[in-house]
Structure 1
């Protein structure tokens, strides 16, 4: 796993880049950030509308459904929440890889520390978003971000475990 140590600065660069993107994104108003006009212009015929119409659930104290939000806002909801989950998953992957050499002998810490750091960054990002006009911070989004981070950290630990195990089997 010397490659991980050798590339540590690149992993930290990935962390910084993602954080800059998140900071910029949470500085934008909803009107600046919405993808609804794009969806209305380029997604014709409202694909999967009948299937999506069957879906409704509560998220952050609000009912999410096509009936409540309209087709394009409902689709945008999934895009936005997928971006939350995915961005924090990637952030946790970079943090795990950047911190790997410090916690390589302790898989629990290799998951826990990056997950905790990423969750803290998610909470800060929601706070920052709350300072932006037309946006409200959401504890539910922090939970979603934290789940993405935990998933990313677990993926890294599982993959590195099997890579190391495979290397050790080859040596014998």
Structure 2
């Protein structure tokens, strides 16, 4: 069986891919996800086995690219009309709770980073491991040890 030209694949499955993209990211970003899907598919298409379910393959790619587009959208800066002149205490943890900040500063560097990345930034341990140059288990352990140390030091500081 001869492999169909990629243009035929796009024509046959383009509408399905667009529906998947709309379902995942909504109408506003669906076209970007659709384009990303077919760019990824075009690169991988020559290696696709002849007996592969092309529609299922494209739906899988579409789902992943739509998630990527959604993540990118959530990370974009939101413009504002005015910039506040006053100091925002939320941006400065030491201004809100200097004792907690001092306890956090006493942690070893990897523990401090693991606590901040996971509990403040909300990153998963797999990503923290990449940043810290260790395994996800080591990142999880560093965060747990950091929280344990904070409970010990911070609670003692509060009591005194």
Higher strand share: 1
- Structure with the bigger RCO (C-alpha within 8 Å, sep 6+) is 1
Structure showing greater radius of gyration is 2
